[in-house]
Homo-oligomer: A and B are copies of this chain.
Amino acid sequence: VAAGASAGADVTVLPELATTGAAYRSAEEAAARAEPITGPAIERLRELSARLRLVLVAGFCETSGLDRPYDSAVVLDHGRLRGHHRKTHLWGREKIIFAAGRVAPPVVPTSVGRLGLVICYELEIPEVTRGLARVGAQIIVAPANWPDLPKPAGERPIEIAKAQSAAAANRVYVVVADCCGREREQSWTGGSVICDPGGYPLAGPRLGQPTLLTARVVPAEADDKSLGTYNDAFADLRPELYLANAGDPGFDRDPRMAAGGDAR
């Protein structure tokens, strides 16, 4: 954070579960490391955001009062708590270690603009990023821990394409702070990236390396959804043509429906 401030950052984003690490063996172990939002970890980050005069976004392991803690994140703005989110879409073993949040990812007004706050996998859900952009998010910030998964030689991790696509589809900036290196048996991707509203990287990814990425962003540019002379990322949408319950897990996915009377 101090290096970011020295580089002139107004906003600094740290990874998911940045205060504790993420590769827990059990819910009990995670719960033992959890703190409330009023605890010493967030207090220290809050003081840091005041002293360095910046907006600081960080993931932490939050006490829940349940048998599993939350995978949470905060937005701290010059010493003030401005945003708080509990991860709603859990990935992999997180499902047995954390409790899922029950409130949608928020748009957080800050001294530098409106931040959409998601945690890792939530960035990969198009409905989530669309919703944040629709209520005015200018920069989607994503503390993340991307597991380093197999991929074809020469290809960037697919998560990068998803981050780029979320930016471009919604004409917003996307900032991912990912872990790198190894934690217990887990290797992290180190896929931190800053994307512009066209979806192209302004900085990163420098895969697998500890890195401080910096880029100049103009939040108000994300308020302009136009795509050239004739198009607009939002005005072009035709919801009357979209499956109303496309995101509904209760929706009956029956191939015969698509195939009409001609199903194979």
Contacts and interface: CB of A to CB of B under 8 A. Distances in A.
A147 B221 CA distance: 23
Q: Which secondary structure dominates chain A's binding surface? A: loop
Interface stretch (A12-20, A22-30, A34-42, A243-251): A243-251
A90 B169 CA distance: 15
A8 to B, nearest CB: 21
Interface string A160-190: 1110111011000000000000000000000
Contact of A234 (B228, B249, B257): B249
Interface stretch (A44-52, A60-68, A194-202): A194-202
Interface of A: 88-96, 103-107, 109, 111, 114, 121, 124-128, 130-131, 134-137, 151-152, 155, 158, 160-162, 164-166, 168-169, 198-201, 223, 228-231, 234-239, 241-243, 245-249, 251, 253-255, 257-260, 262-264
A170 to B, nearest CB: 9
A111 B126 CA distance: 31
Contact of A151 (B93, B96, B200): B200
Nearest to A105: B241
A89 B264 CA distance: 30
Contact of A257 (B130, B135, B245): B135
A134 B127 CA distance: 14
Nearest to A259: B109
A68 to B, nearest CB: 14
A229 B92 contact: yes
A130 B161 contact: no
Given A126-B130, A165-B161, A89 B257 contact: no
